[in-house]
Amino acid sequence: MRRVAVYCGSAPGNQPAFLEEARALGTAIAQAGLGLVYGGSSSGLMGAVANEVLAGGAEVIGVLPDILASSEVAHAGLTQLEIVHTMHERKARMVHLADAFVVLPGGYGTFDELMEIATSAQLKIHAKPCVLINTLSYWDGLLAFLDTAVHAGFLKERNRALLQVVPTAAEAVQQIVHYR
């Protein structure tokens, strides 16, 4: 295990706990001796995770589509910032660079990335851990929907279990470090 891809919001959310958990995740990643792969933004939860990993002395690779690179979104202090052409290229590059995936709260982009890595795990395209941090029960609605999909016969229980759910960043990093 070398690097963790973190998917999360480029906004901070409206509860202090979201930002606190993002910072805690960055600290835990660095303390575990892991590097970070993320979307390259300096703002929101994304920037908070990156700043803490950097403060801990660990590697941070940002992957940013060129449409966002020219704006003030790009984090200027990363170990490495890769500019790609499209969001599809961004997601593929992040998957290639990462050995595990952790998801914090976020919007459409975060949801898209979460569904793609879970689907890829289901199809056995990768066998990397996928861990969802359920800060303030943010993901409860999604988790209930996934249970409904199992009950309705559209999602197999073993595939539902591909998405590990934990309440804290510390537990997410422990899941990754001890993944088999």
Predicted pLDDT at 180: 72
- Looking at per-residue confidence, does 69 or 175 come out higher? 175
Statement: residue 70 has pLDDT above 80 = no
CA 87, 112, 94 angle in degrees (round to 5)? 50
pTM confidence score: 0.95
| pLDDT-based confidence at residue 7 (cuts at 50, 70, 90) | very high
Residue 76 DSSP SS3: coil
Predicted confidence (pLDDT) per residue in 80-97, tens digit? 999 999 999 999 999 999
Q: How many CB atoms sit inside 10 A of residue 159's CB?
A: 16
Which residue carries 């997410």 as its tokens? 172
Residue 72 has pLDDT above 70, yes or no: no
Q: What is the pLDDT of residues 126-165, one digit of tens each?
A: 999 999 999 999 999 999 999 999 999 999 999 999 999 9
The per-residue pLDDT for 63 is 96
The amino acid present at 5, given as its one-letter code, is A
How many whole angstroms separate alpha carbon 22 and alpha carbon 27? 9
